[in-house]
């Protein structure tokens, strides 16, 4: 038995971040390649963490120094990165 599925190009396009602007107070406005925009508040995640490699990003100078690499937010050469779907949902509070 052979099962085949036809997907439209739009359905198989991978989700990527096109633009991200630091708003302040550990919040970033993110625009995705499907046109969706989210304002993501990272402060709860950062303040709840006990790990020093995460807590160091409570320094706004370090936190605001992110880059978009391969369609995702990236801090200091993959020192801190989040799953794209969490960013898309607008929640990184795990």
Question: Long-range pairs for 89-93 at CB < 8 Å and ≥24 separation?
Answer: 89/38, 90/38, 90/39, 90/40, 91/40, 92/40, 92/42, 92/45, 93/44, 93/45, 93/48
The per-residue pLDDT for range 15-50, each reduced to its tens digit, is 999 999 999 999 999 999 999 999 999 999 999 999
Instruction: Give residue-wise pLDDT tens across range 39-82.
Output: 999 999 999 999 999 999 999 999 999 999 999 999 999 999 99
Query: Which pTM value belongs to this model?
Result: 0.84
Q: Which domains does the chain have, with CATH numbers?
A: 14-89 (3.30.2020.10)
């Amino acid at each position: 038995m052979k099962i085949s599925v036809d997907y439209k190009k739009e359905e198989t396009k991978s989700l990527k971040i096109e633009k991200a602007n630091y708003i302040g107070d550990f919040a970033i406005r993110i625009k995705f390649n499907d046109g969706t925009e989210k304002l993501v508040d990272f402060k709860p995640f950062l303040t709840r963490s006990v790990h020093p490699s995460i807590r160091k990003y409570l320094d706004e100078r370090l936190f605001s120094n992110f880059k978009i690499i391969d369609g995702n937010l990236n801090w200091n050469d993959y020192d801190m990165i989040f799953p794209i779907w969490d960013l898309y949902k607008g929640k990184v509070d795990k």
